[in-house]
Structure formats: structure tokens, C-alpha cells
Homo-oligomer: A and B are copies of this chain.
Amino acid sequence: MRISVFRKAHFNAGHRIFNPAWTDEQNFKVFGKCSNPHFHGHNYELIVRVSGEVDPETGFLIDLKHLKAIIEENIIERYDHKNLNAEVPPFDKIPPTSEYICFEIWKILRQILPEKYDLSVRLFESARNFVEYPSLG
């Protein structure tokens, strides 16, 4: 009985889309106003999807209180009210695009969750722009 369980969370962060290996001109040409050196920010919404087999006794795939605490301690405390470029590695070295932020969040959670679970993460930069890693489609 394979099932998925989802938990939604959110954090607010500042960033600029900026590749430190490039000149400012290259950054502005590719990233436009998103590379504004003064930074802007977003209310990020996060949906963590965990898949696997339900425990027949508890009727849980994973205890959501536990999953909520994992996300809170490892993702929200790390990202919330932070400037991603200045305070959250590896975004001092690579651009904090939604794609890369989503991938970093997945890597952190993947190390913590037991191997028996599959994991996929959706990250909403806004209600109109969002990403999913790994892609299920």
C-alpha cells in the first residue's frame, strides 16, 4: 500500500539572482531586475512529499508531527528571515534560483529521512512560479 504524505511550510527570505563567477554586466544581462544588488525577497512556500508504505498499526506513513519538526529544524531555521546570498551557503557561490534552492532543500532532507522513504520537494517563489525536484513528470 504505497502512499504519499505531504507537508506544507513557508519561510521569508531575501536574495538576488547573481552568479559570482560573472561580471555585473553579465548578471544584469541574464537576470535583469532579479539581480538588483540591493536584494529583494519572497515568501517561499514549500511542499515536502514523502512516499512509501503505511505502517499497518499506526495507519501512518510517517508521523506528521515528526516530519513538521524535521522541516522546522533543518529548513525553516536555516532559511527564514535570511539573505540567501550572504548568509546561506552554497548561495555565496551559486545563484539562489528556485531550482537550486529546491535542490538544496531536497539534499538536506534526503540526508535526514530514512532510506525507505522517497522524497520530492516543491518550492513556490510566488503563486505563479514554482519548481519541483526531483521532477515527477
Residues of A within 8 A of B (CB): 1-10, 12-15, 17, 19, 21, 30-34, 36, 38-43, 49, 51, 54, 57-61, 63-65, 80-83, 86-87, 94-100, 102-103, 118, 120, 126-137
In contact, A3 and B126 (Cβ under 8 angstroms): no
Contact partner of A120 (CB less than 8 A), chosen from B64, B87, B137, is B137
9 cross-chain pairs, A with B, having the tightest CB-CB distances, nearest first: A41-B41, A38-B83, A59-B97, A4-B135, A136-B137, A8-B128, A59-B95, A14-B39, A14-B40
Report the separation of the CA atoms of residues A128 and B59 in the bound assembly, to the nearest whole angstrom.
Answer: 19
Contact partner of A42 (CB less than 8 A), chosen from B4, B41, B102, is B41
- This chain's copy number in the assembly: 6
Contact partner of A126 (CB less than 8 A), chosen from B12, B33, B86, is B12
In contact, B42 and A39 (Cβ under 8 angstroms): no
Report the separation of the CA atoms of residues A17 and B80 in the bound assembly, to the nearest whole angstrom.
Answer: 15
Residues of B within 8 A of A61 (CB): 99, 131
